Structure 1
């Protein structure tokens, strides 16, 4: 799904969690010392090497690409002043522009990435879209669903997927209007439209999957043609108590849905 690029026919292999974590840390901590930065780059490179190591039969794997499967970019202060404004209250405190990302990727030996629309720009996708168009062989995009009550986000989703060539869409339940759920009329329409367009839905359950498991199960049951991804492994961790055990089990039980 997110492993192909319009400009590259070679197969892609995603980074394991170690590499992804190191890359995200590096992108969000530009003020660290060179020594620390080199250590992060080293851990990323080691994990990338593991991901692209030669198979047991000894055949060459040089055609594989190293891809970071989840990261963000946002405007530099200069770009923000030139029209790519930040969403009020979401102004970044760290550097995360595309030039910096490309520098980090080059140093770490990463060939490409999936860029997820950041909350810093909320539903204004102009900055990420400009990056995707400028570097089509490097990046593919995941847009952010707009669950506004007026349903305008449905047309926006179709435009971003069909016209701007985004490959997936993120659902963030915390962005739904107060008191509303992802299973409301707008949420269902967005979810169904994503399936119709062949765009996987990545769900961000930042507050824990237990709060949203019923909504996710309902959407999966009613729209089996829509592929679902639980971002950040649904924020689950090795359970240490009954509540965490229940949350982790509910996450694993989602495997019963075909998508």
Structure 2
């Protein structure tokens, strides 16, 4: 009889509410779970200070050691550390996290098209960490945190990342989507990862529909992360939105992320994944498995995928 370790068992439990144990058992040891969106912070560690232009400064540390413990307890095989804004384009703590996590962690980078010499730091970072930097993130999330739309500088950032083999990871409010679309159209060979469902609750349904229509571009990937709480403003049900996105993008172009933070435990981390799985309950077990890890493992090259 096939034996299961703790991580395999937790993987089984993550989908059992929506499929029989017998149907899932055959795939339990071959499936992979990948969290594609989490942040790590050093807190007060003086080795890794926050940037002078940090938009926020977390006090409590969320370390890679804590992350790995939560991953083990929650049955998460691999994860992507999304380099957060408090460090701006200083990636020392990201590199520390990657060194601690070894083959289980990869990371994204953050550089700024409108800051002199920022983009030129991208290639050395990637070269120091071969195969471990997977995307360059672009923020268009608030009026004071916008990229220079329609400029040669933003195109230079996009092209630099593309030439280095990175994906472009977009974090934006839907109202800013039209300013990003020309580069999605131009760089058709560059994967574009759309964070947080395209932030549907930060825009009108009409604004978010622009993002949904990006599914017509085969290089786009939608991330099921930062799932909105229906009890919070604007009090809209996210289930129909996720159904619309899964219909548009399909499981082969959707990935999940989230649930880790400074106070996370293995139980809370797994509970978040269960919530995502519940929101995907209209899909087949095979498609849920793809979104919860299979698609990301291929996209980011985890475990030789």
Partner of 2:255: none
Q: Which has the higher contact order (CA 8 A, sep 6+)?
A: 2
Deviation at 1:58, TM superposition (A): 6.2
From 68, 86, 104, the counterpart of 1:138 = 104
Following superposition, which runs of at least 4 residues in structure 1 exceed 6 angstroms of deviation?
A: 48-55, 175-179
How many corresponding residue pairs? Answer: 206
1:99 aligns with 2:65: yes
Partner of 1:229: 193
- TM-score for the superposition, normalised by structure 2: 0.59
Deviation at 1:45, TM superposition (A): 8.5
More helix by percentage = 2
Partner of 1:187: 154
From 77, 80, 86, the counterpart of 1:111 = 77
Deviation at 1:215, TM superposition (A): 1.5
8 Å CA contact 1:199, 1:226 repeated in 2: yes
Report the 3-state secondary structure (helix = DSSP H, G, I; strand = E; otherwise coil) of the residue aligned with 2:42: coil
Following superposition of structure 1 onto structure 2, how do residues 48-127 of structure 1 map, counting pairs within 5 Å?
56=23, 59-77=26-44, 80-81=45-46, 83-88=47-52, 89=54, 90-127=56-93
Report the 3-state secondary structure (helix = DSSP H, G, I; strand = E; otherwise coil) of the residue aligned with 1:113: strand
Deviation at 1:180, TM superposition (A): 5.6
Report the 3-state secondary structure (helix = DSSP H, G, I; strand = E; otherwise coil) of the residue aligned with 2:28: coil
1:215 aligns with 2:179: yes
Report the 3-state secondary structure (helix = DSSP H, G, I; strand = E; otherwise coil) of the residue aligned with 2:212: helix
Deviation at 1:253, TM superposition (A): 1.2
From 115, 121, 132, the counterpart of 1:156 = 121
Partner of 1:19: none
Distance in 1 (CA, whole Å) between partners of 2:73 and 2:65 is 13
CA-atom RMSD, angstroms?
A: 3.2
Q: Structure 1: 5+ residue runs without aligned partners? A: 1-41
From 245, 251, 254, the counterpart of 2:205 = 245
Distance in 2 (CA, whole Å) between partners of 1:121 and 1:45 is 37
Distance in 2 (CA, whole Å) between partners of 1:175 and 1:213 is 13
Deviation at 1:249, TM superposition (A): 1.4
Cα offsets for 1:2-23 (capped at 9, x unmatched): xxxxxxxxxxxxxxxxxxxxxx
Q: Structure 2: 5+ residue runs without aligned partners? A: 1-9, 220-305
- TM-score for the superposition, normalised by structure 1: 0.68
8 Å CA contact 1:53, 1:61 repeated in 2: no
Which deviates the most, 54-63 or 95-104? 54-63
Cα offsets for 1:52-109 (capped at 9, x unmatched): 99795963430333221110101142xx22x211124532133311222222222222
